[in-house]
Chains A and B, each alone.
Chain A
Amino acid sequence: NAGVMQNPRHLVRRRGQEARLRCSPMKGHSHVYWYRQLPEEGLKFMVYLQKENIIDESGMPKERFSAEFPKEGPSILRIQQVVRGDSAAYFCASSPKLAGSSYNEQFFGPGTRLTVL
Chain B
Amino acid sequence: GDSVTQMEGPVTLSEEAFLTINCTYTATGYPSLFWYVQYPGEGLQLLLKATKADDKGSNKGFEATYRKETTSFHLEKGSVQVSDSAVYFCALMMGAGSYQLTFGKGTKLSVIP
A residues apposed to B, CB below 8 Å: 3-4, 6, 31, 33, 35, 40-45, 48, 56, 59, 91, 93, 95, 102-111
Whether A110 and B97, one on each chain, are in contact in the complex, defined by CB atoms closer than 8 angstroms, is no
Tell me the nearest residue of chain B to A4, going by C-beta: B43
Tell me, yes or no, whether B41 is within 8 Å of chain A by CB.
Answer: yes
CB distance from A45 to the nearest CB of B (A): 5
Whether A102 and B97, one on each chain, are in contact in the complex, defined by CB atoms closer than 8 angstroms, is yes
Tell me, yes or no, whether B12 is within 8 Å of chain A by CB.
Answer: no
Q: Please, how many angstroms separate the alpha-carbon atoms of A43 and B4 in the complex?
A: 11
Tell me the nearest residue of chain A to B8, going by C-beta: A40
Whether B43 and A91, one on each chain, are in contact in the complex, defined by CB atoms closer than 8 angstroms, is yes
Tell me, yes or no, whether B105 is within 8 Å of chain A by CB.
Answer: yes
Q: Please, how many angstroms separate the alpha-carbon atoms of A93 and B93 in the complex?
A: 15
B45 / chain A contacts, CB cutoff of 8 Å: 108
B93 / chain A contacts, CB cutoff of 8 Å: 103
Whether B44 and A91, one on each chain, are in contact in the complex, defined by CB atoms closer than 8 angstroms, is yes
Tell me, yes or no, whether B101 is within 8 Å of chain A by CB.
Answer: yes
B44 / chain A contacts, CB cutoff of 8 Å: 43, 91, 93, 108
B residues apposed to A, CB below 8 Å: 4, 32, 36, 41-46, 49, 51, 89, 91, 93, 96-97, 99-106
Q: Please, how many angstroms separate the alpha-carbon atoms of A44 and B91 in the complex?
A: 11
A6 / chain B contacts, CB cutoff of 8 Å: 43
Whether A45 and B101, one on each chain, are in contact in the complex, defined by CB atoms closer than 8 angstroms, is yes
Q: Please, how many angstroms separate the alpha-carbon atoms of A107 and B46 in the complex?
A: 8
Tell me the nearest residue of chain B to A104, going by C-beta: B99
- A102-B97, A103-B32 in contact; A42/B42 too (CB < 8 A)? no
Q: Please, how many angstroms separate the alpha-carbon atoms of A45 and B101 in the complex?
A: 7
Whether A103 and B51, one on each chain, are in contact in the complex, defined by CB atoms closer than 8 angstroms, is yes
- Choice from B4, B41, B46, B105 contacting A110 with Cβ under 8 Å: B41
- Choice from A48, A91, A102 contacting B96 with Cβ under 8 Å: A102
Whether B103 and A42, one on each chain, are in contact in the complex, defined by CB atoms closer than 8 angstroms, is yes
Q: Please, how many angstroms separate the alpha-carbon atoms of A105 and B44 in the complex?
A: 12
Whether B46 and A42, one on each chain, are in contact in the complex, defined by CB atoms closer than 8 angstroms, is no
